[in-house]
Copies of this chain bind each other. A is one copy, B any other.
Amino acid sequence: MDSGIELRHFRYVLAVAEEGTFTAAAARLGMTQPALSRAIRALEQVMGTALFERGHHGATLTEAGKTFRDDARAVDALARKALNRTGQRSNGPRHLRITARGCDVGTLETLVASYNSTRGDHAPARGAIVGLQTRVEEVHAGEADATLMRSPDDLSGLDSDVVRTDPRVALLPNAHPLATRRMIKRADLVDETFTLWSGHTPEQIAYWTATDLARHGWRPGPTVSDAAQFGACIRLGESVGFIAADLLPEMVLTGISVVPVADISVSELRIAWPRSATSRDIAHFVRHATSTAEDCPPLSRIT
């Protein structure tokens, strides 16, 4: 008797029973509340019995629901056992390979850790940090499932969502005339040399500032890919750098002044994944990222 009921439904009941509300259960399951509601309704329909008493402060099991929950637990456990016993070799829990570039390590770590610690029946799929200097090409090549990156990187062929936005600040040698200003404007910088953060191009500077600094004599300096080098170049080269504020805590700022730029675009931290990605796991991770990252440590937030 194929009633259309699948393992899924058993797990759904367990989640709702344990969470106490459909909404919370849905979140834990990595799905939306309406979808979950309907699935359980369908199950109840087939069984001809209500399993939950819906109140306005959540759902509680009916008598029938309680016995079903116990059965469901057994079914679920048994099914998992069956799958693991035979098959644990060759593919343990799959990993979502998360990479990053130009993102503070704190955010990344917190994000992955909170994802993994989610008591989630999703998370098939523990997140694993597999790189911090990832280039977009690696995502295309399938070496990573998702990557965190700062705005103007090449997103062609990728889908992406904004995880968080951080102010972009200017770094200046302490000796610089502007270093003591509490706030500067782009126009103040037209005569400067810039040290470019790894991966940044003159075009990106133009993009950020939404103006063509070069017209006014702007010229690029060296390009570095390391926070310490970045600081050193600025200090020694008497040049100016832009950086997203969240990266500041990871830098050595000796001899460097941080000055907010009033009219520069903010830096978007984006999570990107292959447009062809079919897996729902990635969608879950993205959702988690976008919905929780605001709570992640932006550390010294500059307003």
**Chain A residues close to B by CB (< 8 Å):** 1-3, 5-8, 10-11, 46-49, 51, 64, 67-68, 71-72, 74-75, 78-83, 85-87, 89-91, 93, 121-125
Query: With A and B bound together, what is the CA distance between A179 and B46 in angstroms?
Result: 59
A87 touches B47 (CB 8 A): yes
* Complex interface: chain B residues within 8 A of A72 (CB): 82
**Least CB separation from A93: chain B residue:** B1
Question: Once bound together, how far apart are the Cα atoms of A68 and B81, in whole Å?
Answer: 10
8 Å CB contact of A68 from B11, B51, B82, B122:
B82
User: Given the known A-B contacts A93-B1, A123-B1, are A48 and B87 also in contact in the complex, defined by CB atoms under 8 Å?
Assistant: yes
Whether the Cβ atoms of A67 and B48 lie closer than 8 Å is no
Are A121 and B2 also in contact (CB < 8 A) when A71-B82, A78-B74 are? Answer: yes
Please determine whether B5 and A5 come into contact, CB atoms closer than 8 angstroms: no
Q: With A85-B71, A86-B47, A90-B49 known to touch, is A5 a contact of B79 (CB < 8 Å)?
A: yes
Using CB atoms, name the residue of chain B closest to A125: B1
Question: 10 shortest A-B CB distances, which residue pairs?
Answer: A48-B90, A47-B87, A71-B82, A6-B6, A64-B86, A48-B91, A68-B86, A75-B78, A1-B124, A75-B79
Q: Are A47 and B83 closer than 8 Å at their CB atoms?
A: yes
Do B10 and A8 have beta carbons less than 8 Å apart?
no
Closest-by-CB residue of B relative to A66 is B86
22 intermolecular pairs with C-beta atoms under 8 Å apart: A1-B80, A2-B8, A2-B121, A2-B122, A3-B83, A5-B79, A5-B83, A6-B7, A46-B87, A47-B86, A48-B90, A48-B91, A49-B87, A49-B90, A64-B86, A68-B86, A71-B78, A71-B82, A74-B78, A74-B82, A75-B75, A75-B82
Within the assembled complex, what's the spacing in Å between the Cα atoms of A123 and B79? Answer: 24
Residues on the B chain within 8 Å of A86, using CB = 47, 49, 51, 64, 67-68, 71
Q: From A64, A79, A85, name the one whose CB has the most chain B CB atoms within 10 angstroms.
A: A79
| Inter-subunit contact B90/A81 (CB<8 Å) | no
- Give the CA-CA distance A81 to B72 in the complex, in Å: 10
**Residues B71 and A81 in contact, CB atoms below 8 Å apart:** yes
Closest to A79 in B: B75
Q: Which of B5, B85, B121 is within 8 Å of A1, CB to CB?
A: B121
Q: How many angstroms between the C-alpha atoms of A74 and B78 in the bound complex?
A: 8
Chain B positions within 8 Å of A74 at CB level: 78, 82
Distance in angstroms between the alpha carbons of A20 and B51 in the assembled complex: 39
Contact (Cβ within 8 A) B124 A2: yes
Contact yes or no, A67 B47, CB < 8 A: no
Tell which of A2, A67, A74 has the most Cβ of chain B within 10 Å. A2
Besides the contacts A5-B7, A71-B82, what 15 more A-B pairs have beta carbons closer than 8 Å?
A: A1-B93, A2-B8, A2-B122, A5-B79, A5-B83, A7-B79, A47-B86, A48-B87, A49-B86, A49-B89, A64-B86, A67-B85, A71-B85, A71-B86, A74-B82
